[in-house]
Amino acid sequence: MPLWLSVANSLMALGSAAFGVLALIRPEALNGPRGGGRALGECGGSGVRGDVEAARLYAAMYAGRAVPLGLAVSAVAWAAPDGRATALLLGVAVVAQIADLVAAVANRLKGMAVGAAFAALVHATALAATL
């Protein structure tokens, strides 16, 4: 994997992990500026508007995936940039970012959608470079 791609993957992966930590600290921050979009606690059609517990659950679930995956992708981009395990982990990262993109679009969170789309593109480019 070229150096620039390792750097880009690390930045995207660590950014995702940072948002996971932010989600744990302030779940309401994931709702976008001034409450733009529906509350993320409503994901899955729960219909529970403004439910703090649902927002905390979503934030914890997101962080539980984003933090370890982000740290692992960042580490593997430097430790074994051309290995088979790297390709597998990058594939998982692409799928995770696509899932984030779908959730962002469903909740009308433009910033999250753009970030997830860009991260998916970076991870997919790195995946192609490792194969």
Using one digit for the tens of pLDDT, what is the confidence trace for 45-103? Answer: 555 455 677 778 888 888 999 999 999 999 998 998 888 889 999 999 999 999 999 98
* Model pTM above 0.85: no
Task: Give the structural domain span for 53.
Answer: 3-130
Q: How many domains, in total, are found in the chain?
A: 1
Q: What DSSP string runs through 55-113?
A: HHHHHHHHHHHHHHHHHHHHHHHHH-TTSHHHHHHHHHHHHHHHHHHHHHHHTT-HHHH
Tens digit of each residue's pLDDT (9 = 90 or more) over 20-34: 999 888 877 666 554
Q: How far apart are the first and last CA of the chain?
A: 10
